[in-house]
Amino acid sequence: MASQEHHQPLEDRVVLVTGAARRIGAALVRGVHGQGANVVIHFGNSREAAESLAAELDADRPGSVATVQADLLDPNAPGTLVDEAIRAFSGLDVLINNASTFYPTPVGSIDERVWTDLLGTNLKAPLFLAQAAAPHLRRRNGSIVNMVDIHARHPLPDHPVYNAAKAGLAALTLALAGDLGPEVRVNGIAPGAILWPEGEQDLQAQQTILDQTCLGRTGQAQDIVDCALYLLSAGYVTGQVIAVDGGRSIGW
């Protein structure tokens, strides 16, 4: 009897993940790498974390990881990131727009700096990265996954600029699905309470959020990874934004 070779779902595919050194970004990197992908880890300021993650994964599968530093507010960053992915692995199959900035901007405190920062990282960078990647993704019937937020539809108080940026990203996801199809599939994930913001110590506020969540608990980074892996394998799914929020978006 002839032996059957085992092929992993993303074997030899090239995946670029932005904001990939820590937290959900690092979990996404581990998830796609574990399915056989070659991964380009983008980072902004977290060089040590990015290089540590790359070393960990490269030890498991030598030559399967590259790291690239870029400030996503730099107009040259999208082209640089895509070029580095092509240089490292001679192609690009998947773009995961995960990088994000998040902080409150109460009305009365909003200025051009926070507008440029929040719109730049959460909306402008994903658009220009998708544009730079599109020719390569089209050649390989690739995919884009955008990390949106449930607050794109249910605004978070005192975060109007962030809310607007993520709402724009949700709309961009649908627009790109139409404009880049049929060769490229484009989908989004809208997380709920997965990881609390760093430095968040307000236990009462956290409990209020959990009380609004049907499942009554926080999710795990792996829940986001599982959704991303589904979207990367679901060949007839495009133009969708899936809430991974334990039901919070219906439990208001």
The span from the CA of 145 to the CA of 126, in Å, is 10
Residue among 93, 111, 101 nearest 39 (CA) = 93
Lookup: tokens for 52: 């540590």
Q: How many CA atoms lie within 13 Å of 24's alpha carbon, on the beta-carbon side?
A: 29
Residue among 106, 209, 193 nearest 149 (CA) = 193
Task: Extract the runs of DSSP E, i.e. beta strands, from the chain.
Answer: 14-17, 38-43, 65-69, 94-97, 143-147, 185-191, 241-244
The span from the CA of 87 to the CA of 156, in Å, is 40
DSSP single-letter state for residue 53: H
236 classed as catalytic = no
Lookup: tokens for 76: 């040259």
The DSSP-derived string for 68-88 is: EE--TTSTTHHHHHHHHHHHH
Element (H or E) spanning 167, and its range? Answer: helix 160-180
How many CB atoms lie under 10 A from the CB of residue 194? 18
Active-site pick, 103, 162, 230, 236: 162
DSSP single-letter state for residue 24: H
**Residues assigned a catalytic role:** 162
